[in-house]
Amino acid sequence: MPGRGGGTTPGHGGTMQRLSWRALIELFLKGWADDHPGLRPATTKHYREQLETRLAAFAADRGIASVQDFTCEHVREFVTWLDEYMTRRGPISQRGKQMALNSAKMLLRWCYREGLLPEDISRSVKGYRLNQEWKPQATRSDDLDALLAAFNAGTATGIRNIAMVYLMALCGLRVSEVCGLNAADLSPREGRVTVRSETSRGSRVRRVDLPSVIRDGRLMTRPEVAEVLTAWLAVRARSFPEFDDDDPLFVGLEPGRASVGREEQEEDGVSGAGRRMTVDGVRLMLRRAARRAGIDPKLVTPNRLRHHFGLSATAAGVDQSALMDAMGHKSPLMTMRYAVVNDEDRRRQFARADIAGGLRFPNAQRQRLPTRDDVEETLEEETSLSEIARKLFARD
């Protein structure tokens, strides 16, 4: 049968083409990208790293020259090998082992479909058994407050960074999901954000409620969250008038611009005006903010911010199925692990019921938030950023 990338790979009954592991990985990633046109380069890079540093390293360790020499027994050995594998930082996390195995199984399934393997040996291992003792490691409420206070809300960069932290810590978005948002994915009128992701099985979409509170019997987006998101929309529209709804929501700001001072340059984390924020850029921004706040940067990582939401929602009594949908978990077992907040100490640290308001009262009436037309109309007036935010969002 025809192979990817210009070569030929005869079918199961013929002589199969033998490729080096590096060449095979590149061929697989090219074929995968062709099948998923919307695949982000960062996703391709992630899988390349997983396959080269895990599966290819295991094959080299075992002297397996090509995929044709790979057997069902090797797949099972790979799981054991992951348990013993050490990186410069130490052993691989349980989640990292699952990701490594998933990447390997995707490659092996593709090899079978392309005729490089006579059988689908990826089925020999159903999945990596995650450590049942694993517990979410979340940012504490006081550390989150200190982190937010480290951003200068009077600057464009500070407003953008606060908005991203809100989406991770108060909505449970992954850092890659925050960076992948476009302006059209934020729906102020509905009080929701649409998260889109590409997987090996196609596109996945989920809609997450913005943090809400009950005011006068109505469910409304928390005022501070609505103001920050609206203010960032105003900054984005004014700084990049050529941007449309299909352009990135969170972008870098030009460090050399006169309106951006030295403090904003330190907060930015990326260079280049109008370029989509990157995962590395967000991590760098969080590390710098943590140091300014006097917090250990390891306590306010993107994952810990996301876990803060999961623990807070569980402490607030959110239904587990609703939380599973909000966090985008594939398995309810992942969501159930946030039940550790039954511990009284953790409840005091994470019991922020207002975070999960939108999940608890999905049918309540929502307050109308500014539309894009409102933003454009307000931007025609020469006024300060705080005044723009106040005009675009009217408090009760």
The 8-class DSSP code of residue 10 comes to -
Long-range contacts of 50-58 (CB under 8 A, 24+ apart): 50/99, 50/100, 50/103, 51/25, 51/103, 51/104, 51/107, 52/21, 52/22, 52/25, 54/82, 54/85, 54/100, 54/103, 54/104, 55/21, 55/100, 55/103, 55/104, 55/107, 56/21, 56/22, 56/25, 57/85
In angstroms, the CA 122 to CA 104 distance is 8
In the chain, CATH 1.10.443.10 covers 141-392
pLDDT band, very low/low/confident/very high, at 127 (cuts 50, 70, 90): low
Q: 274 pLDDT exceeds 90?
A: no
Q: Which residue has the higher pLDDT, 84 or 189?
A: 84
32, containing H or E segment: helix 21-35
CATH of 141-392 given 1.10.443.10, 1.10.600.10, 1.10.390.10, 2.40.30.20: 1.10.443.10
Q: What is the pLDDT of residues 130-162, one digit of tens each?
A: 555 567 788 888 899 999 999 988 889 999 999
Q: What is the CATH number of domain 4-124?
A: 1.10.150.130
Q: 31 pLDDT exceeds 80?
A: yes
Q: Which residues contact 150 (CB under 8 A, 6 or more apart)?
A: 289, 290, 292, 293
pLDDT band, very low/low/confident/very high, at 21 (cuts 50, 70, 90): very high
pLDDT band, very low/low/confident/very high, at 128 (cuts 50, 70, 90): low
Q: 84 pLDDT exceeds 80?
A: no
> Closest Cα to residue 300, out of 161, 109, 165?
165
In the chain, CATH 1.10.150.130 covers 4-124
In the prediction, which pLDDT does 259 show? 42
pLDDT band, very low/low/confident/very high, at 288 (cuts 50, 70, 90): very high
Share of the chain above pLDDT 90, in %: 23
Q: Which residues contact 156 (CB under 8 A, 6 or more apart)?
A: 235, 239, 253, 259, 260, 264, 385
In the prediction, which pLDDT does 388 show? 60
For residue 57, how far is the Cα from the chain centroid?
27
Q: 345 pLDDT exceeds 80?
A: no
pLDDT band, very low/low/confident/very high, at 343 (cuts 50, 70, 90): low
Mapped onto helix, strand or coil, the DSSP state of residue 337 is helix
Q: Which residue has the higher pLDDT, 260 or 29?
A: 29
Q: What is the pLDDT of residues 360-382, one digit of tens each?
A: 333 334 445 555 566 666 666 65
> What is the DSSP pairing of strand 218-221 with strand 186-187?
unpaired
In angstroms, the CA 235 to CA 241 distance is 10
In angstroms, the CA 162 to CA 324 distance is 25
> 275, 255 in Cβ contact below 8 A?
no
In the prediction, which pLDDT does 17 show? 64
In the prediction, which pLDDT does 217 show? 63
**Highest mean pLDDT range out of 67-76, 308-317, 372-381?**
67-76
> If you average pLDDT over every residue of the chain, what do you get?
76
Q: 59 pLDDT exceeds 80?
A: yes
In the prediction, which pLDDT does 55 show? 92
